[in-house]
Amino acid sequence: MVNILLVCGSGASTGFLVQSMRKAAKKRGIKVEINARSINLLESFINDVDVVLVGPHMRFDEDSVKVITQAHNVPYEFVDKMVYASLNGEAALDAALNLIK
């Protein structure tokens, strides 16, 4: 099972993308755990995840994301703005899975 964490300012806006990603994973028969949290909680959840996706509007906080994820050897990526805006769960799931291949 792959554990994916999406982070943004409060975790609320990524929650919609999480739902879309879960549907995409179910459709493909992929077992995943996908959650959304506030970026302020990243360090609290980093030990339990395989990959982190970050809302594109949080790019200003990349330095802290990089420090936390690198310290725990967890890959991260900012979600593409168009993927995020359209809540494209298929594309977001692909991005997460590609990071851990």
Instruction: List active site positions.
Output: 8
One-character DSSP codes across 29-79? T--EEEEEEEGGGHHHHGGG-SEEEE-GGGGGGHHHHHHHHHHTT--EEEP
In this structure, what token pair is assigned to residue 6? 């999406």
